[in-house]
Structure 1
Amino acid sequence: MSSNDDSPTLQHHSAEPGFPSASSKNSEIDTVDALLRTIFRLNWKDWVLIATIVLCLSLHYISITHNCSPLVVDIIKIITVLISAFFIFRKISNAYKSKESIISFFKIHPIQLFVSIIACGATVAFFLPLILNIFKLIGDTDKLTTALLALTGGIIAVFTLIKTHQKNQNDEMSLQLDREKYEQQKEDRSKDIEMQNSQMQEQKRQFNKKIKQEAYRSHQERTRQIHAERRSRYTKAAEQLAHENASIRLGGVFTLFGLADEWIADESLEPQKRQKEGQTIINYLCAYIRSVPAKQTEASFKTGSYPQDEAEIRQTIFMEMSSRFIENKKKVDKKSHITQKSWNNFIFNFNNSHIFYPLNDLVFFNADFQGAKFYRDADLSDSRFYQETQFTKSKFFSCYPFKGTEFYGNTYFNKSQFNPPGGFTQKIGEVFEKLSSSGPVNQHDNHPTEGYTFFRSVFYEVASFQKAHFYTNESISQSSFNKDVDFQESIFDGTRAFIETSFSEKPNFKGTLFAYLIPDIFNNSISQDGKKLNNGIATLLQDNKMFLSRKELPVGARLFDPNSWNSTDKKYDRVSHPAL
């Protein structure tokens, strides 16, 4: 079991304290006997020291029994103690070199180690004092025995503390491992839950996306069917408008209005698309207004011999349009934008229409009546016109077309004719042929028409009457112009042109012609500053330079003789100089 060197033959390196894996590395040391042989194995030096100690003990005993000198006895004691201390130191050193084996054995077999320590301690405590007493090194052995037993108990207590510490370390490490394991499990669980939530969210998102796609496809299909059904109804309504039966035509009118309302209110379409679809239907209705009823001529319109049911149908179209406008009776700005779902922003093209039915007390937006002809039953009194209104080159054969009419946007009557002569006479063909020429007709055989054109009408924006021709007795009566008004190169044939008319801005009468027979052109008419509009004098001379008439006129206006019409040159030969 011994070797020739001072180190133990078998050295097994165990793991750190607290880790039971050391048992696998020191599997040969599994009994107390094997542990003691490993720790306390003796070589020749140890045996020499043991022999020396035994010799010293024998010498001490002999010296005591032979009563040798005390000095000799003490020297022997000292030598014995020193050699014993050196021997013990060597064994402790060898034991320390085998500490890993001891710790490993202690971790694996703590009970065996404790029993071995108690047995060895008790044996040493009993025999060592006895031996020392036999060799006369000590006298009374009780104290030494007590000390050795106490030392044994101390060693056991130290090992107990070590074991308790190891247990606490193991418990703490186990707790830490359990905590780490729990935290890891918790983290893994959180990740699993997060992954499950993410998967659920993705599934939900995909499901919602699928639902939305299906809903969108369903909506698109339904919208397509609705639009197709509307177009089918539109085609049928268009066919109805061409039917001979008036009631069927009227039904087609109401169907078209209903379709237009549906297009305008359709939220599935962009505003531009809704506007386009609605405008298409309005264009068709306006085209119907522009069309000439079957078997009707210019003469029948002027004499009033037209079918009453057709007049009612066309009047219904205007009434239905009027009911769909959102009216603002206050002053309307040209640049204002109306966002309501109404018909205000559509364009209404009634160019060259034949209006032979009353249109009074209605609302109009963006109305374009250029070149239209208004016959005797065409009454526009008490109606309201918004946005830009066009009556350029229109002809009014009615005696009272504009009574209490209000215009909230720019209005244009350029080159229009108001109550031209012969409008309701039997000489229609001859007179109308003259009216349709490029210039006014000769008034020599035609007196001004009875009635008035504008009575108590209000113009809130710009009004233009350039080159218009007024044939009525009273052209403009008790009306007001709140913005610029232009009568440039207009012609007034009546006996009274303006009666109690007010102008907020200075009107333009440059080149305007007034018949010299008019007794009072501006009867109580005032401008913005409250002054009369008689701003200059115009003198009309006959061909022989003799005086014919002299009147007060606005600056730039002129007098003319209605009997001086030159049909060759298409102008009046007797015209005064502009009023100054």
Structure 2
Amino acid sequence: MTNPLQPRPKQDGRHTPNLWPVWLVAPGALFTVGAAAFGLYHGAELLLSSEATGKKPVGVQDVIKTTVTVLTLIGAVLAALYAYRKQLLDEGTSHRADSTQLTERYTKAAEQLGHDQAAVRLAGVYAMARLADDWPEQRQVCVDVLCAYLRMPYETDPADAGYRHGEREVRLTIIRTIRNHLQDPTSTNTWCGRNLDFTGATFDGGDFSGSTFSGGQVSFSHSTFSGGEVSFSGSTFSGGQVSFSHSTFSGGEVYFNSSTYSGGQVSFSHSTFSGGEVYFSGSTYSGGQVSFSGSTYSGGEISFSRSTFSGGEVYFNSSTFSSGGVYFSGSTFSSGEVSFYNSLFSGAEVRFISSTYIGGQISFNGSTYTSGQVSFLDSAFSGSRVSFSPSAFFGGEVDFRGSTYTSGTVNFRDSRVQAAATLHWGPFPPIPVNHP
């Protein structure tokens, strides 16, 4: 039940000022003015009479004149209040007109995005983006519409019956528009921190380079990267969640080169890599987490070459590697963790060639090797921990040749190494081979 003594509650979509009900304000104002006039009249009479003691009595006309003057001032105040109220109402009318115009613009832009002609759809992209800039209250809604467009079914093969001419350019324009709004988190029109939902989308190209992901949730989950070049190069990941989980990488190239990771989470967990390349080369990790846990690798390449790890975590836990490669060559590890815990290697290559280890941890604990290669060739160990404890080597190769060791720990405790496996110990003492 509403309280009649409270102002009208603000309604969604309305811009009317939050005013008291007229039926309550009018009697209250009349009563207040009447009481003020009565009090002023008698008060003024008593005051003037007391000041005129022993003098000529104060006339009634003087009392009335004083009272009228005061009432005139009160009337002026009430008139100002009325003018203020009228101004608020006029502003409410103006705001409603603006809201109507923005709604009409939204409807028109949405209709353009659904048009058969690619040129009209392109106009709809620009119109929706401009509307998002002009309508902060509904900015997320406009962004959601553009993301929803990318989630729609998309045929990349011109020979397919569902192929639409010009559709790729429309989609690339949407991606470029989103990228432009993720460059500067301090901009009044920034989309940084907004939720971006690309779940299930198909990407055969797109430029997200230089973007800042500092909050919100960004989802590429269940997406397909089938060709072309998708770039996140030079991006900053400092908060929020960016998810590529359950995605399929069957072709093309995805670039995260020279990116910075200081917080938040980037997840590729439970994804399938059967082709193409994903590059994180030259990136810096001082915090946050990048996870590939539970993924399957039957082709393609993932490269962290020449990266710097001074914190954060990179996980490949419980993954399956049958072909392809994961490369950390030329990287520097001073803190943080890279983990391949409980993974199965049956053909892929994991290379840490020519890297420097002065801190942090690299873990292959609980993994199984039937073929493939893990190489630390020509690396320098002066403080990190590298652990294979306990793992099972039924085949494959682990190579430390050409490496140097001054401190740190390399641990194969409780591992099973059978004759079919090849371990090049380099500077480390070999462990006995466990025959079946």
Match of 1:368 in 2: 219
CA contact 2:295–2:319 (8 Å) conserved in 1: yes
Residue 291 of structure 1: CA displacement?
0.9
**Is residue 491 from structure 1 mapped to residue 364 from structure 2 by the alignment?**
no
Match of 2:142 in 1: 281
**Is residue 318 from structure 1 mapped to residue 211 from structure 2 by the alignment?**
no
The one of 520, 536, 540 aligned to 2:393: 540
Secondary structure of 2:177's match?
helix
Secondary structure of 2:312's match?
coil
Q: Distance in 1 between matches of 2:111 and 2:326?
A: 50
Match of 1:27 in 2: none
Residue 343 of structure 1: CA displacement?
2.2
Distance 1:224 1:500, change over 3 A: same
Residue 389 of structure 1: CA displacement?
1.0
Within 5 Å, which residues of 2 pair with 1:137-148?
none
**Is residue 461 from structure 1 mapped to residue 288 from structure 2 by the alignment?**
yes
Within 5 Å, which residues of 2 pair with 1:32-51?
none
Q: Distance in 1 between matches of 2:169 and 2:271?
A: 26
For residues 150-185 of structure 1, the C-alpha deviation after alignment (integer angstroms, 9 at most, x for no partner) is xxxxxxxxxxxxxxxxxxxxxxxxxxx996475753
The one-letter code of the counterpart of 2:209 is D
Secondary structure of 2:393's match?
strand
CA contact 2:234–2:259 (8 Å) conserved in 1: yes
**Is residue 402 from structure 1 mapped to residue 256 from structure 2 by the alignment?**
yes
Residue 347 of structure 1: CA displacement?
0.9
Residue 225 of structure 1: CA displacement?
1.6
The one of 246, 252, 266 aligned to 1:393: 246
**Pair member with larger Rg:** 1
- With the length of structure 1 as denominator, give the TM-score of the two structures: 0.49
The one of 355, 363, 366 aligned to 1:524: 355
CA contact 1:410–1:461 (8 Å) conserved in 2: yes
Q: Which has the higher helix share?
A: 1
Residue 310 of structure 1: CA displacement?
2.3
The one of 344, 358, 363 aligned to 2:192: 344
Residue 198 of structure 1: CA displacement?
3.2
Match of 2:202 in 1: 354
Match of 1:16 in 2: none
CA contact 1:399–1:452 (8 Å) conserved in 2: yes
Q: Distance in 2 between matches of 1:206 and 1:513?
A: 82
The one-letter code of the counterpart of 2:292 is F
Match of 2:112 in 1: 240
For residues 168-218 of structure 1, the C-alpha deviation after alignment (integer angstroms, 9 at most, x for no partner) is xxxxxxxxx99647575399848843x344323321222122212221221
Q: Distance in 2 between matches of 1:556 and 1:487?
A: 21
Residue 290 of structure 1: CA displacement?
0.8
Residue 236 of structure 1: CA displacement?
1.3
For residues 121-145 of structure 1, the C-alpha deviation after alignment (integer angstroms, 9 at most, x for no partner) is xxxxxxxxxxxxxxxxxxxxxxxxx
Q: Distance in 2 between matches of 1:209 and 1:197?
A: 19
Match of 2:9 in 1: none
Q: Distance in 2 between matches of 1:404 and 1:523?
A: 19
Q: Distance in 2 between matches of 1:384 and 1:477?
A: 17
The one-letter code of the counterpart of 1:291 is M
Residue 240 of structure 1: CA displacement?
0.6
Distance 1:258 1:321, change over 3 A: same
Q: Distance in 2 between matches of 1:223 and 1:232?
A: 14
Distance 1:359 1:520, change over 3 A: closer
**Is residue 327 from structure 1 mapped to residue 184 from structure 2 by the alignment?**
yes
Q: Distance in 1 between matches of 2:143 and 2:332?
A: 37
**Is residue 251 from structure 1 mapped to residue 108 from structure 2 by the alignment?**
no
Distance 1:489 1:181, change over 3 A: same
The one-letter code of the counterpart of 1:283 is D
CA contact 1:498–1:525 (8 Å) conserved in 2: no
Which structure 2 residue ranges, 5 or more long, are not aligned?
Answer: 1-49, 361-381, 401-409, 418-432
**Is residue 384 from structure 1 mapped to residue 235 from structure 2 by the alignment?**
yes
CA contact 2:229–2:253 (8 Å) conserved in 1: no
CA contact 1:513–1:559 (8 Å) conserved in 2: no
Within 5 Å, which residues of 2 pair with 1:31-430?
180=53, 185=58, 189=62, 192-193=65-66, 195-264=67-136, 274=137, 277-293=138-154, 296=155, 309-325=166-182, 327=184, 342-365=190-213, 366-386=217-237, 387-396=240-249, 397-408=251-262, 409-418=264-273, 420-421=274-275
Match of 2:331 in 1: 501
Residue 388 of structure 1: CA displacement?
1.8
Match of 2:403 in 1: none
Q: Distance in 2 between matches of 1:528 and 1:251?
A: 53
Distance 1:319 1:465, change over 3 A: same
**Is residue 510 from structure 1 mapped to residue 341 from structure 2 by the alignment?**
yes
Q: Distance in 2 between matches of 1:221 and 1:375?
A: 51
The one-letter code of the counterpart of 2:270 is K
Residue 307 of structure 1: CA displacement?
6.0
Residue 351 of structure 1: CA displacement?
0.4
Secondary structure of 1:518's match?
strand
The one-letter code of the counterpart of 2:92 is Q
Q: Distance in 2 between matches of 1:178 and 1:207?
A: 33
Q: Distance in 1 between matches of 2:189 and 2:142?
A: 16
Residue 279 of structure 1: CA displacement?
1.7
Moved over 4 A (4+): 181-184, 186-192, 305-308, 338-341, 519-523, 547-560
Q: Distance in 2 between matches of 1:380 and 1:507?
A: 24
What is the count of residue pairs matched by the alignment?
325
Q: Distance in 2 between matches of 1:516 and 1:558?
A: 20
Which structure 1 residue ranges, 5 or more long, are not aligned?
Answer: 1-176, 265-273, 329-337, 422-448, 542-546, 561-576
Give the alignment's Cα RMSD to 1 decimal. 3.9
Match of 1:268 in 2: none
CA contact 1:391–1:413 (8 Å) conserved in 2: yes
CA contact 2:235–2:256 (8 Å) conserved in 1: no
The sequence identity of aligned pairs, in percent, is 20
Distance 1:558 1:407, change over 3 A: farther
Residue 515 of structure 1: CA displacement?
4.4
The one-letter code of the counterpart of 2:295 is A
